[in-house]
Amino acid sequence: MPRRSDWPHSLTPAAFQILLALADADRHGLGIVEEIESRTGGETVLGPGSLYGTIKRLRETGLICEAERVPDPSESDPRRRYYTITPFGREALAREARRLEVMVHVAKSKAVLDQEPGR
């Protein structure tokens, strides 16, 4: 497992979205994409390159790992790899969510969010 000093100071948007998708359930690649698209109303779409490149980096840094069990054996397909968030990944996700929360608070204090889009 990587040391804390190996953690990035912040997660990429794709990494954050993938960790959020895995926060409540183990999922395979397409399941991750579908959950992200559903949760963001289609505003965030990860292509295969971004998805699997980010999954590879998240696995290498110990933020996710391959799940030991298939969540729904009736949907079992030997080609599918299911992923699960690790405790280390959950800490990184919480840290990034707190960082974003602070940024939203600052934006609100500067009335950035009160402005109409395009102004």
For the beta carbon of residue 80, count every other beta carbon within 10 angstroms: 13
Tell the residue number behind the tokens 């779409």, with chain if given: 45
Q: Is the pLDDT of residue 28 over 80?
A: yes
Q: Inform me whether the pLDDT recorded for 98 exceeds 90.
A: yes
Cβ–Cβ < 8 Å for 67, 84: yes
Is residue 6 within 8 Å of residue 61, measured between CB atoms? yes
Q: pLDDT per residue over 40-76, tens digit each? A: 999 999 999 999 999 999 999 999 999 988 766 666 6
Domain parsing of the chain, residue ranges: 10-109
pLDDT computed for residue 74 by the predictor: 65
Instruction: Report d(CA 85, CA 108) in Å as an integer.
Output: 31
CB atoms within 10 A of CB 56: 10
For the domain with range 10-109, which CATH number is right: 1.10.10.10, 3.40.50.880, 3.10.129.10, 3.40.50.300?
1.10.10.10
pLDDT at residue number 5: 47
* Helix 13-22, helix 48-60: angle, nearest 10: 80
